[in-house]
Every structure is written in C-alpha cells, then in structure tokens.
Structure 1
C-alpha cells in the first residue's frame, strides 16, 4: 500500500498566506509614506508619525474588511468568532510593521534624532522587512536553490517597481 500524502491543513495555510500578504501591504504602505514624507520641504516628526500610523491603520482596516467580504462571498455567511479572531490577529501583525519605524520617528519628535535621519532609517527598516518577508516566502518554497535566488531577485525588482510607483503617486 503506497504511503498516504501528508495531510495539509488548508485553514492554517490560508491564514499564513493572509498574514504574509497583509504584512507586505502594510510594509509597502509604511515605506511609501516614509519616502513621501522625506521628500517634503520641511518634514515634521509629528506629521510623519501620524501619517505613518494612520496610513498603515487604513491599509490594515481595508485588509480586514476585504477578508470579511471575501468570507461572505465564498461562504455566504458572516465569519464565526474563531475566524474573526484570526482576522484580527492578522491585522495586528500588519500593524506591528509600524512599531520600530514609529519609535524611530518618536525619537525625532523628542529631538533625539534629526527627522531626515529618522526617515532614512525608517526607509531602511521597511526595506529590510520586505527583504525578510520575501526571503521567508521563497525559503518555504520547494524550488531548487537557483530558482529560489531567481525568485528573490524577481521579488526585489518588483518591490523596487512598487516603491517607485507609490513614491510617484504620493508625490504628485
């Protein structure tokens, strides 16, 4: 008798995919906000902080709403308590992307750092976050090492394109 294929927990896989997806959205949003704020004539720390937190909160809330709508469309009913808790956990994870950059901007707000330096550091934090998320996604794949590297380079190129588009869109 052949070995049975390992059981796949579809719910866990969907939750993990949604978690990664929302982190990517929140990170790109935070990065775009930081880049656009940095291009302002005289960026101010309080404005940068609130723009970052409210911008990421907005994209996170949009992701939460899209999950509810998707659930309604597919299952034809509101999600149960366990599913809503899962959605809130994903949203909380996405909001976590502003903790370090937000703290760095607060340091500028209380005059520990220059705002331009703080925004530059925040941009690198967001870029590093995107790199780690991309690497985790590629590493989990079953692709051979060479294809994993190619996938990571492709993700990097697409990420740079997204950053460019968001920066242009927010600065027009």
Structure 2
C-alpha cells in the first residue's frame, strides 16, 4: 500500500471514530466558514480595481484565520460554561480538528489567486472562480452531511437545494451591497 493510501485510510478510520455530534460540529463550522469566506471573496470582487492577487489572498487568509480563532474561542468558552472545566486532551483535539477542517475551505480560492499572481488569470477572474468554488463547496458539504442520513431521498435533495440556494442568495446580497 502506498503512503498516500495509508494516509487516506488513517483519515477514514479517524473520521469513522467520530461521534455524530463531533461530525456535526465539523460540518457546521465548515458551512459557517465557507459563508464567511464567500462574503470576503464577494466583497473583494466588488472592489477589485487595483487589488493584487497577493492583497486578496492576504485579506482572505486573515479574515478566515480570525474567524477560525473566534470559532475556537467560542467552543472553548462554551465548553467551560457548560461543563465547569477546561476541555480534556481529547476534547481539545476535537476543537482543533474542527477549526483545521473548516480552514480547508480557503484552499481552492487561494490556488485561484496564486494562478492569478502567475499572470494566467486576472484577480477578478480568480475571485469569480473562487465564488463558484465556494458555492459548489456548500453543495458538497451538504451532500456529505445528508448522504448517510436516515431520511427520505426527497428530503436529502431538498436540503441540498436549500443550501445551494442560500449560498446563491448570499452571493446576490453581497453583489447588491457592493454593487
């Protein structure tokens, strides 16, 4: 078995060991951070004149990084309030896993901005591609969330549709706000 296959298998085993609440935490924060990244990308797109790919990437990384730290702090404080003690090592690992998983949403937008920095795309083109990728990511996260759910298929499709429609509504509102 190759190293890549071994790593994939270890990740799958770790994922399978998560409780339903832990899986829900990861999905919830990934959706939240995706919407935050989408808002930033759309705001940058609305003010793209004179914006370099590096500036756009820096803004995106700082904003998403700040959001992830806020999520971590909120989880930490709410845990202490609910349980009257600091998280155990396992609970702390879970909290870090949640934010690191959610941080993955910016990878593709950063790749697009890197392509723009190389001169192959414009900054506006990279931000447009990032918008589509983030909305598609919402659909993918929704699919991952409902694929094993014990609900009728039509409800699964309805949930996926609702998530993508809400993503597109965020795009429309941001475009309206930033004209």
Q: TM-score, normalised by structure 1?
A: 0.84
How far has the Cα of 1:67 moved from its partner? 0.7
2:102 to 94, 99, 102: 94
RMSD: 2.2
2:59 to 51, 59, 64: 51
Instruction: For 2:176 and 2:67, locate their aligned partners in 1 and report how far apart those are by CA, in whole Å.
Output: 18
Deviations 1:57-97 (A, max 9, x none): 11111111111011111111110122111111111111111
How far has the Cα of 1:136 moved from its partner? 1.6
Question: In the alignment, what sits opposite 2:111?
Answer: 103
1:65 to 57, 66, 73: 73
Q: Is the 8 A contact 2:53 2:117 kept in 1?
A: yes
Question: In the alignment, what sits opposite 1:36?
Answer: 43
2:167 to 130, 142, 159: 159
Indicate whether 1:134 and 2:135 are aligned.
Answer: no
- Pairs aligned (count): 163
Compared CA separation, residues 75 and 135, structure 1 to 2 (3 A): same
Question: In the alignment, what sits opposite 2:9?
Answer: none
User: Greater shift after overlay, 92-101 or 145-154?
Assistant: 145-154
Compared CA separation, residues 48 and 156, structure 1 to 2 (3 A): same
Instruction: For 1:145 and 1:83, locate their aligned partners in 2 and report how far apart those are by CA, in whole Å.
Output: 34
Q: Which runs of 5+ in 1 are unaligned?
A: 1-8
How far has the Cα of 1:156 moved from its partner? 2.7
Compared CA separation, residues 167 and 29, structure 1 to 2 (3 A): farther
Q: Secondary structure at the match of 2:121?
A: coil
Deviations 1:121-160 (A, max 9, x none): 1111111111100112222221111222222222333333
Deviations 1:25-53 (A, max 9, x none): 11111111111111115132122101111
Q: Is the 8 A contact 1:105 1:119 kept in 2?
A: yes
Q: Which runs of 5+ in 2 are unaligned?
A: 1-15
